[in-house]
A and B are shown apart, each in its own frame.
Chain A
Amino acid sequence: MSVSHPALRLIDVHRTHGGGEAAVHALRGVSLEVFPGELVAVMGPSGSGKSTLLNVAGGLDRPTSGQVVIGDTDLTSLDARALAKLRRRRVGFVFQDYNLIPSLTAAENVALPLELDGERARPARRRAREALGLMGLMELADRYPDAMSGGQQQRVAIARALVGTRRLVMADEPTGALDSHTGEEVLRVLRQRCDEGASGLLVTHEARYAGWADRVVFLRDGVVVDSTGSDRPEQLLHAAR
């Protein structure tokens, strides 16, 4: 098995909100790696730091100390502008409430990160349609979010999270608003994209969905208390046979 370079590394990451007596230590020395092709789930009770971890890992929030490295880039060394550019090109987010822009069609939503990054509308939309087509969602391309089911919107959100050069997806309770079957379909799509080489960090409080991940990290009070180990997908497939 070849040793690949991690797509994401967190090294001794701390995140403290506020200071003094009122300081809240949301993350206290978290280290983890996500490799290409890997989907890693983060589980833990409310207030354990799951969402903070996801926001810090995706460059939406900055750590108080420690390093966040995406590919070869240490996010802590970037100014706000460079960080925003890196997010546009490398990291996509998927939220519980889909977060699609209601006045844009599915294809326009998927094209948005490319357009924000300076690509002209026409080629951006062509690539967005290709991305939707690859995921079997072409029939949704011209629909607006209010004409799509929750599961369809979430699959479009995954297409948007991984459009263009983006290969890292941060999914925060992506199944939270979906029924059991639809939630599973969304996880199946996320799994498929990771099997094709993307990397994902998935926050969920439902073990059934964490079961789609290669590895599960358990957070308590901002600390990783446990992990299911580092079986890589190749080993796992072997084990499942």
Chain B
Amino acid sequence: MSVKFGLLALLATEPMYGAQLRSEFEARTGGTWPLNVGQVYTTLGRLERDGLVESVGEPDEEGRIAYRLTDSGEATIRTWWTAPVDRSETPRDELVIKLALAVTVPGVHVAHVVQVQRAATVRHLRDLTRLKAQAPPGSDARHEHAWRLVLENHIFAAEAEVRWLDHVEADLARSSSRARPVPAGERPGRDSVPSRSPQSI
């Protein structure tokens, strides 16, 4: 995620100082992407150089300079809202690389790698769910909405990872059962669901 577009989107609402941009960015993204002030000023410098933002008047008594969008900056942010995020460059994921190597490197217990990861991912999912169940302290409704949306993205991503790990495990089981037939008595059966009586309520 480019900080550039984040800052442009915020400046489209009103002119802001660097420190204000930093705190607004963090509040609106649920604190997921902490920024340091240096990063904000470096980016503002580049945006000013490229003619996308300009300073508003002189520095105030504390030496702070507010920035606003230029026409070109406004056009850039409008394009960003309407264009999809580019997904063609898949980010490198350590877990994917780890499992791809695990199934090819001799001596690695792949099922164990899957199990350990799944337990860790479910624990992470549980911590995210607990966080979601608590309202963020001292935030207004708009920020709470943003915070929840970001947390839910992490929750769905963790769930997708668990599903993928289940799939990898089932795939491993299939390949090993093709290599070594399971005796009939050991085959897993369907769950038995006893009929329900009025007691089962």
Contact = CB atoms under 8 A, between A and B. Distances in A.
Interface string A199-225: 000000011101111101010011001
B130 A240 contact: yes
Given A49-B191, A61-B192, A211-B155, A228 B123 contact: yes
A213 B127 CA distance: 10
A47 B188 contact: yes
Contacts of B127: 236, 239-240
Interface of chain B: mostly helix, strand, loop or mixed: helix
Interface stretch (A30-38, A85-93, A131-139): A85-93
A237 interface: yes
Contacts of A226: 115, 118-119
A216 B126 contact: yes
Interface in B164-201: 166, 170, 184-194, 196, 198-201
Interface stretch (A16-24, A65-73, A145-153): A16-24
B122 A228 contact: yes
A228 B115 CA distance: 10
Contact of A47 (B115, B126, B191): B191
B133 interface: yes
A105 to B, nearest CB: 15
Nearest to B123: A228
A23 B184 CA distance: 9
Contacts of B196: 95, 99
Interface stretch (A4-12, A50-58, A119-127): A50-58
Contacts of B12: none
Nearest to A83: B199
Contacts of A206: 159
Contacts of B126: 210-214, 216, 228, 236
Interface size class of A (residues with CB under 8 A): 35 or more
A176 interface: no
B115 A218 contact: yes
A41 B198 CA distance: 25
A154 interface: no
Given A45-B166, A84-B199, A24 B129 contact: no
B194 A61 contact: yes
A60 B200 CA distance: 7
23 contacts: A17-B189, A17-B192, A45-B166, A46-B190, A46-B191, A48-B191, A61-B194, A92-B201, A95-B196, A116-B199, A208-B155, A210-B122, A210-B126, A211-B122, A211-B125, A211-B129, A211-B155, A211-B159, A216-B122, A218-B118, A226-B118, A226-B119, A240-B131
> 8 nearest interchain CB pairs?
A24-B189, A211-B129, A207-B162, A211-B125, A51-B191, A221-B188, A240-B130, A207-B159
